[in-house]
Structure 1
């Protein structure tokens, strides 16, 4: 793969490969048909995940412990040709191994079967009645007379014949991938018939052996598949939308601008949209200069017009745009209307641009669209949307915003909430209707389907904000420099991941450190450390290694003998010497545990530079033997883990001088931890916050403001949207002698948010993010930091979070003046100070959070 998969993507790929293995076995062993789906929110990288799956399917994968299927062929089905081409281009960009194995099926396709190790792209339009690929196909109804329709020249069979020949070929498996699966199950009768015919069989073709649906919303696909004949439904693979948001692939904030009064505000808000995209252009240019990037992000303004706009309508749009943006080139405006033809608006030509080309056509700065831009389209550089759709078209707004949610650089910009947001201006929407949009967007409903997706999930709601007319916040000049210095020294921790491989983590870190010149010869040093450790463990576990060697060199088996006419069998055990292929398999097994890189490095270490010290086969046998001793593998992983932590600590300050792009790689490596590990916070640079609170009925009221926050408006204030407990805590702390500043810790996974790891009721690691960080001065003038978290003791996560906070205080308490958890009980706010040993011990022994706050351990806040 050309791309490094995000953690959630790798997990999903592993699960999909497991499903494909089950599906293949069901078909070849029992002749059973099966289906399953991959559900992931828009922007999760579904095509990248599919590319990793296909690459493993064709070539195998050590990372996923997956053996290649030599008879595999993938038939990728999409709704239209442009989506097909876009998917092909994305897969090609993601996987170098698949470059020559991606073929779009044209009308001239003339092969008798699909070739193994190939991905074929097919779309519904090519299979409509009368199409060249289906001309002369058998009727679905056997009682219907077959009309003579000769196949076209140079085509000896229909596409259904090709499918039948492939499915019936010995040792072959045809995997049918249904892209944007919900659409094929939703649209008109013609399209539905085509998809169902492919899946269930028809026109002479058998049913698809394996059906793999990919979509943001697969409910409709799942329901339709239940009606399919004799098809086993395997469990779906579902990607947690909170993990996608946390990855930085999706923008955090959606800013909605809605008129406050009745009237016609089309051109007014359009002009404001132009101003926003011009400002965004300047900010991205500054960011590129700061980061020394050759090509800055080029923001795009998307203008969504009503159905069937007249030339006069479009002329008014262009006039307003050019009045506000006088130096905009004439070729900077394009459209993606369904007409697919160039337009002439007055004296200006507005060319048609295929949706999948918008992202790379950087000379286009303004894009005109009608309804939702075609399914599967996305444009990470789309920063601003102004929509002239009527207010009843909220679904279209959801769909279009879903296409605009990807971050331009596929990563979050540290410390800058404005660059991590998208602007949407809705002149025809009233404030009440917009509340419905906000609620749906908060719950993650930016998918391409308009079906009900449930109530969303708490983590998504915490990580995504919908803002109305926010105020821009910048570093507060009233906050002393000492506070900012201390902020970046405050400890935060990683949230451990499942299935982490410490040796691969060390490999990745060594490569990164070498590339950035932070540890000279890091790769060689890492390999030497692990090879030396293997030498030592080989001696330490000498007897177990000898036994493992015997297992590698011999194959134990049992012979069963029976005689005709007599019951029962006699058994005789025997051993045979393993051949070179068996030894190679044993070596590959060890390489999967120790990593390919370490296995190869240790072979070189044993053989020596002149290959005279040891025979190569003998070196492979030694590696295979060491890999069969679990204690050795676990201890080598511990050595790798220790060296990773050592190097990350050693380079913490130096890494702060790297570009954001390079720091993303270290963030990924830091996140590959098996236990909570210390990381640094990034100081916030630019923020934004609503000035008004909005109720469900659309009414608004001003939010209270407070001074001395790290980020503030030009008057030094910050709007606060807090519940009663949080407001009481904030005001109480602000009145403390020596209070210098405060920070509302973001509830989402950003580098500016302090995280504390805790284990939930199932033993999985989760993140808690305390509400407030306060900075104060002691009598000697030293700036100190306090961590205060108001949290309800009635909530199910109250006790696990308290335990996580206790463990954090145990390790890092000396760097804080106070670490406190506040809760209301009996109408009184009570506080537990986790810097005290006896409080921490009581928290670990407790069975009820409420009892802790009602005990003598807690004091009145």
Structure 2
């Protein structure tokens, strides 16, 4: 089966082979799956699921000058350096992961020309700078243009060939594309990761439209280990802060679905590991996190079959698929036997194979009707039984209904089909099967997660999607990447001893008074380093908790690292305002987390600031690492109960 992406003049996407295709509007996404030239299936996909799928890059980062100064070639140098940086990052990643090489494209939007010139932009200066940065001459076909009214352009000693926009992605030797305003319908280029525009601010709408065609990820999945590879960079030398806002607003108002974050290079930054703490990163192998994805839950039975198949495909457990399938079919046999022994099977089976036929007679003359109860029995046709059998197969998933049918092929096939239909219509039986599958799924993942962690990133993503789709939250290894995407708020200040930093070795952010106060206490008490744990980042530490029966996520503010004679200790600290409604559910979530994973982390604390007996403000901490504390917290059902525990058991550490 091949999948295609559908496009129109409105959305700017084209029809081309792709891992998965989406058509974006504000209301919906359509995934188009083409089986043959005559059949196309549409599946509506919510926008947030498309973002989460990794099909779209995470960020659009806009660079613009601080001062009103003609510095377009300086900005172009910045764009070329950014492009070269992406080339180096992709080479490192593809070599490490064994992926086919991704060659990023630098897209350069130039000014209009006249009767004598193809463009008013100095292409010669651009070529000079490109070759100087590359350290070599450009080869034929590496620099191309899309000016419709021109053929090959000779600039310096370089031939810049004309290319149709729709061919750019497939021509792997293309590195730099010059264009004006004519990259329209037919251009869809995931390899285009850096864009420079020499045009004026009045063209912001068109620039926004172009960016919408650069946001697909080259591998059709997010790169977890390197934040640099999940972004598009845009350089605008003739824009200022106000006109950049126009681009951002145009992006947000467009019908195309955009990345999660759009902003300037001052706000959206990439931080690398602080090399001073390399040994701390090495010591994190045993830590865990959760990933809660409430939008894409699947039944445990389907997840179990999928993970067993993946383990067999990856040669982690060659017998996993067969063993699990045999176990599931045995469980189905057991439940069918249970239904038969209870006496319910014959009643349910009779309702499937036959039904009474009632008769209604209307008398026109008397304007009355009579109803006769069932006076005859209709036998359900074999066709209808087969249809119900296939519907039951959809409930079971993974072709289990046919596996059961094949394994009972010596018996009457109608009887076998009826057994599957009865089974899937028995709520208690299906709950027991799914509970069995859930336990087996967790056990299978836990027993093999270390081997899974050694797979390529592409394969690890398969298992991550499966664990994320589990109804019951499942812990996974917490592996911090080489670089992270980070949002730098206004009025940020510098903090020391952070696990990630910029190229200058500095880390800047904003912390509220509680967070900064707790951090000061920790650093003054000998903490080695720390991590600002940001909400809903792919790299963040995530802990599940329940609200009104639904599982959601919390992201504790601080992870602090201490050391003792046995090595590094990782503490989870959550300064939390007691006036918030989510107070006690988060406390319960932390207590349950501590109960399961007390051996992997140090202190797991919910922290409040309040006045002490000395009349001064202090931080009081409930440490879920302590069994007596978490036993009290685990069963509370109100904020008032949590307040009482804080009054009785919270301690000061300053």
Offset, 1:705: 3.3
The answer on whether the counterparts of 2:154 and 2:160 sit within 8 Å (CA) in structure 1 is yes
For 2:294, what is the secondary structure of its paired residue? coil
1:320 match:
129
Of 770, 788, 791, the residue aligned with 2:556 is 770
**Quick one: which of 3, 6, 9 aligns to 1:79?**
9
Summarize the alignment of residues 131-530 of structure 1 with structure 2, pairs less than 5 Å apart. Answer: 239-241=46-48, 243-293=49-99, 295-308=100-113, 310-311=117-118, 312-316=120-124, 317-325=126-134, 326-337=136-147, 339=148, 341-342=150-151, 344=153, 346=155, 349-371=159-181, 373-374=183-184, 377-431=187-241, 433-434=243-244, 440=249, 445=252, 447=254, 466-468=264-266, 473-479=271-277, 481=279, 483-495=280-292, 497=294, 499-530=297-328
Q: Whole-Å Cα distance in 2 between the matches of residues 849 and 394 of structure 1?
A: 55
Deviation by residue 1:2-36 (Cα, 9 ceiling, x = unmatched): 57xxxxxxxxxxxxxxxxxxxxxxxxxxxxxxxxx
- What displacement does 1:538 show? 1.7
* 1:310-343: CA deviation from partner (whole Å, max 9, x where unpaired): 4352534334333433332232222345x46535
Change (3 A) 1:755 1:723: same
Structure 1 segment 36-47 matched on structure 2, within 5 A:
none
Cα distance, 1:511–1:794 mapped onto 2, change above 3 Å? same
1:842 to 1:656, Cα distance in 2 relative to 1, 3 A = closer
Cα 1:412–1:721 change in 2 (3 A) is farther
Residue from 412, 422, 442 that aligns with 1:625: 422
Following TM superposition, by how much is the alpha carbon of 1:365 offset from its aligned partner in structure 2, in angstroms? 0.9
Q: Which has the higher contact order (CA 8 A, sep 6+)?
A: 2
Kindly state the Cα deviation for residue 786 of structure 1 after the two structures are TM-superposed: 0.6
Determine if contact 1:387/1:426 at 8 Å carries over to the other structure.
yes
2:37 counterpart of 1:100:
yes
Structure 1 570/99 Cα, relative in aligned 2: closer, same or farther at 3 Å?
closer
What TM-score do you get using the length of structure 2 for normalisation? Answer: 0.85
The 1:479–1:82 alpha-carbon spacing in structure 2 relative to 1, beyond 3 Å, is closer
TM-superposed CA distance for 1:785, in Å, is 1.6
Taking structure 1 as reference, are residues 830 and 601 closer, same or farther at Cα in structure 2, changes over 3 Å only?
A: same
Residue 759 of structure 1 pairs with residue 546 of structure 2: yes
Alpha-carbon offset, residue 473 of structure 1: 4.2
- Residue aligning to 2:349: 549
Are the structure 2 counterparts of residues 390 and 730 from structure 1 closer, same or farther at C-alpha, using a change threshold of 3 Å? farther
Looking at secondary structure, tell me which structure has more strand per residue.
Answer: 2
Deviation at 1:849, TM superposition (A): 9.6
TM-score by length of 1: 0.66
Q: 1:256/1:711 Cα in 2 relative to 1: closer, same or farther (>3 Å)?
A: same
Sort the Cα spacing of 1:252 and 1:488 in 2 relative to 1 into closer, same or farther, 3 A. farther
Cα offset for 1:800? 3.9
Aligned to 1:187: none
SS in 1 for 2:311: helix
**Size of the alignment, in residue pairs?**
628
- CA drift of 1:679 comes to 0.9
3-state SS of 1:684 partner: coil
User: Counterparts of 1:302 and 1:616 in 2: how far apart (Å)?
Assistant: 62
In the alignment, is the contact (CA less than 8 A) between 1:401 and 1:446 conserved in 2? Answer: no
Q: Distance in 2 between matches of 1:321 and 1:475?
A: 30
Residue 614 of structure 2: aligned partner? none
C-alpha spacing 1:384/1:475, structure 2 compared with 1 (3 Å) = same
Q: Which residue of the partner structure matches residue 39 of structure 1?
A: none
Deviation for aligned residue 1:597: 1.3
What does the per-residue CA deviation read over 1:406-439, in whole Å, with 9 as the maximum and x for residues that have no partner? 222122222312222222222222356546656x
Give, in angstroms, the shift of residue 633 of structure 1.
1.9
Secondary structure of the residue that 2:399 maps to in structure 1? Answer: helix
List gaps (5 residues or longer) in structure 1.
Answer: 4-46, 51-76, 102-116, 120-176, 178-213, 215-236, 608-612, 695-700
**Where does residue 638 of structure 2 map in the other structure?**
846
Mapped contact 1:399–1:448 kept (Cα < 8 A): no
SS at match of 1:600: helix
Query: d(CA) in 2 for partners of 1:344 and 1:782?
Result: 63
- What is the alpha-carbon distance in structure 2 between the residues aligned to residue 782 and residue 81 of structure 1? 54
Secondary structure of the structure 2 residue equivalent to 1:98: strand
Kept in 1: contact 2:592–2:630 (CA 8 A): no
